[in-house]
Amino acid sequence: AQSVTQLGSHVSVSEGALVLLRCNYSSSVPPYLFWYVQYPNQGLQLLLKYTSAATLVKGINGFEAEFKKSETSFHLTKPSAHMSDAAEYFCAVSKGNDMRFGAGTRLTVKP
């Protein structure tokens, strides 16, 4: 069975600093990979998706993620954090009908 591990349940950065949220997956074959974001009191919404095309995937709000097969990673980055990026971020892996979410990483952005 596939699974997702998000390293760090909480990440804090200063406004304007680099955001790096880590995600590693385990899957016997290349999966589809996703990052979702959950703002306070809202449901999750899709940030970006990897489907075996380009390894560097660009998403909404300036986020991007790079698929690295050798490292089984799909880390999420943003060059410059904004206060509005404060939220919880979930990595997810999908293969066939099975889709699994990571435990989530809460991002705090300090002024």
Partner 1 sequence: DADVTQTPRNRITKTGKRIMLECSQTKGHDRMYWYRQDPGLGLRLIYYSFDVKDINKGEISDGYSVSRQAQAKFSLSLESAIPNQTALYFCATEGGSGSRTGELFFGEGSRLTVL
Read off the tokens for 100: 């699994």
Smallest gap from Cβ 41 to partner 1, in A, equals 7
Instruction: Kindly state whether residue 49 participates in binding partner 1, applying the rule CB under 8 A.
Output: yes
Is position 87 an interface residue for partner 1 (rule: CB under 8 A)? Answer: no
Distances (CA, A) of 110 to 17, 52, 81: 10, 35, 9
Per CB under 8 A, 43 contacts partner 1: yes
Residue 17 within binding range of partner 1, rule CB under 8 A? no
Which positions from 88 to 107 touch partner 1 by CB under 8 A, shown as an x/- string?
Answer: --x-x-x-xx-x-xxxx---
Q: CA-CA distance, 57 to 11, in Å (whole number)?
A: 22
Q: Which stretch binds partner 1 (CB under 8 A): 18-26, 37-45, 61-69, 74-82?
A: 37-45
Is the dihedral angle over the CA atoms 77, 1, 98, 102 positive or is it negative? negative
